[in-house]
C-alpha cells in the first residue's frame, strides 16, 4: 500500500518512516530543501513541493487508495492543504496532530469541517503503550519488594475469605507463583472451605487444596498474605498481615506491610496478572485457567464493573489457558437434580405476555428456585420469571427480569413484605414467606392455584399503575389547580 505523508518536522518524519516502512511504500512531501536533502541522504524517500497546491499531489500520483497523512502542528491552517489533496483525488486522509494543539477540541473542529478525515493525536497514539510500560515498572518495583520480604520465610499462608470463590482461589495460585513457591511452602487457606457446587467443581478439576485455618494454626506461619479480602473481614482475628492484594474498597483498622488495593479493577486476578507480567514469571496453564475463569466470573463476563485492564488481562491469559476446562467448570451449574426442577416448571408453569410463572412445590434445597428463574429467562419470549417453591415451611419466591421497565424488588415488596421478608434490585429479587402467613392471607391453595396467583400478581404489577400512586398524583394536581 502507498502512503504519502506531508510533514515538516524531522522527528515526526523519521518516526513515521521507521514505523511505516516495512509494510508501506512511504513517500514524504517536504517544503524545506536542506531538510529534504538531509533526509534523502539518510535514505528517506522525499519530494520537495508546495503542499497547498493540487499540482504537487497530481505529480505524486495519489489515488483513492493512497493513504495520505498530514501533520498538523496547530500553527498554520491546513484547510488549503486538505482541499488540494481532495482535488487531486485523495480520499483516505489522516491528520496527525502533534504538540499541544492536538486536543480533543481540535479533533472535533476537524470532524465538523471534514467529516471523512480522521484525526489522530500523536500523544494518544503513543501515550497508551508508554503509560502501560511505565506503570509496569512501578508494579515491578512493588512486587520485587514484597518478593524479597517473603523470601526468607519457611511457611507462607495465603489467606482467602470464607467459602472461597474462583477469584480468591485463582489469586491464591497466582500469588504462590509470584512468590515462586510450591504448595508445601505457600499454603492457600481459609477459615471456612468451599461449599458451592460450581466452586467445588473448580477445586476438583484444577486440583486446588484449601487448608482449613483456625485461630491457633495462624501461628504456624512466618508470613501471612491476603488475597481478594482484607483483614477487617475476619473481625479482629487477624489485624496485622504482611501483604494484602484486593479489588474491594480499602478498609481501615489494620496494618499491612505491603498492600496493593485497586477498587476499580474487576477482579483480584486482574491485579495479579499485572504482578506476574511485571516480574516475568511464567504462568502455568492451570494458573492461567483459574485466573481466566475468575475474571469471567467476577465481572459476570464483563457485565459488571469491568475495566480496560480486565479485558487486557483476559486477552493475555486466554492463549495460556485451557478453554475446554473452563467450559467444564461453567457446566457445573447444570446438575441432573436442577434439571428435574426445570422439567417440573416446564410442565406446571404458565407463560403469558412474556411472563413465566411456576410453583415447584416442596424441595430439599433453595438454590433450585433461583436456578429455574434464571433458566427460563433465557427463553426468547420470556421477559419476567416468577418462580416459587416450599423450603422448610416457607414459601420462597425468586423473580428475574430483562428489560428493566419495572423493578423486581418493588414487585416482591408490594405483594410479600407484609407477610414475610422481601427485597432485591431491578433485575433480581426474592421473598421468603412463612407458609402459615401465606395461608392466612390467601387460603389453602392447590399447586396450580399458587401458580395462577403468582401470574395474577405479575400482571397486576406490570399492567397497572399502583392505585395509591395514582390517587396521590391526582390529589396533587387538584391542589395545584386550586392555587
Residues that bind Mn ion (CB under 5 A): 167, 228, 267-268, 298
Q: Which helix (H) or strand (E) holds 92?
A: strand 92-97
C-alpha cell at 406: 419495572
Alpha-carbon distance of 192 to 210, in angstroms, equals 9
What is the nearest approach in angstroms of Mn ion to the Cβ of residue 297?
A: 9
User: Mapping DSSP to helix (H, G, I), strand (E, B) and coil, where does residue 432 land?
Assistant: strand
Minimum CB distance to Mn ion, residue 335 (Å): 25
What lies within 8 Å, CB to CB, of 147 at 6+ separation is 178, 179, 180, 279
The set of cell numbers assigned to 56 is 504537487
Which CB sits closer to Mn ion, 271 or 283?
A: 271
Q: Please identify, using beta-carbon distances, which residue of 272 and 412 lies nearer to Mn ion.
A: 272
Minimum CB distance to Mn ion smaller for 17 or for 228? 228
As measured in angstroms, the least distance from the Cβ of 434 to Mn ion is: 35
* Least Å from the CB of residue 273 to Mn ion: 13
Question: 305: which residues sit within 8 A by CB, 6+ positions away?
Answer: 264, 266, 299
Asked whether the beta carbons of 56 and 84 are under 8 A apart, the reply is yes
Nearest approach in angstroms of CB 228 to Mn ion is: 5
Residue with Cβ nearer Mn ion (228 or 274): 228
What phi and psi, each to the nearest 5 degrees, are found at residue 299? -100, 10
Q: Give least dist CB 248 to Mn ion, A.
A: 7
Residue closer to Mn ion, measured from CB, 177 or 267: 267
Q: Which of 258, 305, 281 is nearest to 174 (CA)?
A: 281
CB of 232: closest distance to Mn ion in angstroms?
16
Give dist(CA 480, CA 483) in Å, integer. Answer: 5
**164 vs 389 by CB, closer to Mn ion:** 164
The DSSP symbol for 263 reads T
Instruction: List the grid coordinates of 365.
Output: 434445597
Closest approach, Cβ 411 to Mn ion, in A, equals: 30
Residue 311 near residue 265, CB atoms below 8 Å? no
* Strand order, beta sheet including 355-362: 350-352, 355-362, 384-391, 394-401, 428-434, 421-424
For Mn ion, the nearest residue by Cβ is: 167
Q: How far apart are CA 96 and CA 343, in angstroms?
A: 61
Q: Which is nearer to Mn ion, 4 or 160 (CB)?
A: 160
Minimum distance of Mn ion from residue 164's CB (angstroms): 10
Q: Which is nearer to Mn ion, 140 or 232 (CB)?
A: 232
User: Toward Mn ion, which CB reaches closer, 92 or 290?
Assistant: 290
Beta-carbon contacts of residue 193 (< 8 Å; ≥ 6 apart): 163, 164, 210, 212
Strand-strand pairing, 428-434 and 394-401: antiparallel
C-alpha cell at 388: 416459587
CB of 247 to Mn ion, least distance (A): 6
88 within 8 A of 57, measured Cβ to Cβ = yes
227 or 369: CB nearest Mn ion: 227
Find the Cα–Cα–Cα–Cα dihedral 323, 326, 331, 332, rounded to 10°: 160
* Shortest Å, Cβ 158 to Mn ion: 14
Residue 425 CA to residue 409 CA, distance in Å, equals: 5
| DSSP H or E run through 68 | strand 67-72
By beta-carbon proximity to Mn ion, the closer residue of 92 and 168 is 168
Q: What is the DSSP string of 431-446?
A: EEEEHHHHHHHH-S--
Amino acid at each position: 500500500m502507498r502512503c504519502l505523508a506531508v510533514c515538516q518536522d524531522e522527528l515526526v518524519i523519521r518516526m513515521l518512516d521507521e514505523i511505516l516502512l516495512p509494510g508501506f511504500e512511504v513517500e514524504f512531501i517536504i517544503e524545506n530543501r536542506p531538510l529534504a536533502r538531509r533526509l534523502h541522504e539518510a535514505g528517506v524517500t522525499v519530494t520537495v513541493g508546495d503542499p497547498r497546491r493540487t499540482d504537487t499531489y497530481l505529480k505524486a500520483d495519489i489515488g483513492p487508495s493512497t493513504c495520505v497523512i498530514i501533520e498538523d502542528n496547530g500553527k498554520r491552517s491546513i484547510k488549503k492543504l486538505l482541499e488540494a489533496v481532495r482535488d487531486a483525488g485523495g480520499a483516505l486522509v489522516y491528520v496527525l496532530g502533534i504538540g499541544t494543539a492536538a486536543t480533543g477540541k481540535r479533533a472535533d473542529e476537524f470532524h465538523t469541517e471534514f467529516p471523512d478525515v480522521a484525526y489522530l493525536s500523536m500523544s494518544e497514539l503513543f501515550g497508551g503503550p508508554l503509560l502501560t510500560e511505565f506503570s509496569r515498572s512501578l508494579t515491578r518495583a512493588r512486587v520485587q519488594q514484597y518478593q524479597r520480604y517473603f523470601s526468607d520465610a519457611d511457611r507462607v499462608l495465603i489467606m482467602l475469605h470464607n467459602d472461597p470463590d474462583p477469584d480468591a482461589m485463582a489469586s491464591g495460585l497466582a500469588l504462590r507463583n509470584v512468590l515462586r513457591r510450591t504448595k508445601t511452602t505457600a499454603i492457600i487457606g481459609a477459615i471456612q472451605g468451599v461449599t458451592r457446587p460450581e466452586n467445588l467443581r473448580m477445586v476438583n478439576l484444577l486440583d486446588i487444596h484449601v487448608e482449613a485455618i483456625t485461630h491457633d494454626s495462624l501461628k504456624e506461619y512466618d508470613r501471612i498474605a491476603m488475597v481478594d479480602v482484607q483483614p477487617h473481614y475476619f473481625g479482629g482475628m487477624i489485624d496485622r498481615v504482611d501483604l494484602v492484594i484486593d479489588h474491594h474498597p480499602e478498609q481501615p483498622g489494620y496494618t499491612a506491610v505491603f498492600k496493593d488495593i485497586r477498587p476499580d479493577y474487576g477482579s483480584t486476578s486482574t491485579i495479579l496478572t499485572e504482578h506476574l507480567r511485571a516480574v516475568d514469571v511464567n504462568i502455568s496453564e492451570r494458573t492461567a485457567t483459574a485466573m481466566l475463569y475468575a475474571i469471567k466470573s467476577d465481572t459476570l463476563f464483563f457485565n459488571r464493573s469491568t475495566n480496560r485492564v480486565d479485558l487486557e488481562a483476559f486477552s493475555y491469559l486466554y492463549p495460556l489457558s485451557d478453554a475446554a476446562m473452563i467450559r467444564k467448570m461453567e457446566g457445573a451449574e447444570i446438575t441432573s437434580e436442577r434439571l428435574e426442577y426445570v422439567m417440573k416448571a416446564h410442565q406446571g408453569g404458565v407463560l403469558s405476555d412474556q411472563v413465566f410463572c411456576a410453583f415447584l412445590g416442596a424441595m430439599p434445597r433453595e438454590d433450585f428456585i433461583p436456578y429455574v428463574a434464571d433458566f427460563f429467562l433465557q427463553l426468547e419470549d420470556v421477559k419476567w420469571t416468577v418462580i416459587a417453591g416450599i423450603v422448610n415451611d416457607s414459601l420462597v419466591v425468586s423473580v428475574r427480569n430483562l428489560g428493566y421497565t419495572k423493578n423486581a424488588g418493588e414487585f416482591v415488596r408490594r405483594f410479600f413484605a407484609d407477610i414475610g421478608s422481601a427485597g432485591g434490585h431491578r433485575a433480581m429479587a426474592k421473598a421468603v414467606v412463612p407458609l402459615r402467613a401465606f395461608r392466612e392471607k390467601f387460603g389453602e391453595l392447590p399447586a396450580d392455584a399458587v401458580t395462577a396467583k403468582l401470574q395474577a400478581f405479575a400482571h397486576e404489577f406490570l399492567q397497572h399503575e399502583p392505585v395509591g400512586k395514582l390517587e396521590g398524583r391526582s390529589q396533587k394536581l387538584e391542589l395545584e389547580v386550586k392555587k
